[in-house]
Amino acid sequence: MKDYVMGNVDDKPSMDDLEKSEALRRLRGWRRLVDRECSSCDYYRFCLGGCPYNAISVEDGRMELDGVDHQCEA
């Protein structure tokens, strides 16, 4: 999933390098969404919104991290 690559461990990226990555920006946006959508859920403290991978939707061949874990039953 090249859209979510932050760096290569062999390159030993610094935290500053990771902070500049589009992937980290997307993950932080997802975290804000999950915090908003799930904060009132009784189970949130256990799952923290679930796995970001499970929250990816595919539309027209594009992957979007656009919601909470689609497998969540709560």
What's the pTM?
A: 0.75
2 within a domain of the structure (yes/no): no
Q: pLDDT per residue over 12-64, tens digit each?
A: 989 898 888 888 888 899 999 999 999 899 999 998 888 888 888 888 878 88
Q: What whole-number distance in Å separates Cα of residue 12 and Cα of residue 35?
A: 30
Task: Give residue 51's domain range.
Answer: 12-65
Kindly indicate the confidence band of residue 10, based on its pLDDT and cuts at 50, 70 and 90: very high
Residue 13: CB partners within 8 Å, gap ≥ 6?
6, 7
60 within a domain of the structure (yes/no): yes
Q: Are 64 and 70 in contact (CB under 8 A)?
A: no
| Number of domains within the chain | 1
70 within a domain of the structure (yes/no): no
42 within a domain of the structure (yes/no): yes
58 within a domain of the structure (yes/no): yes
6 within a domain of the structure (yes/no): no
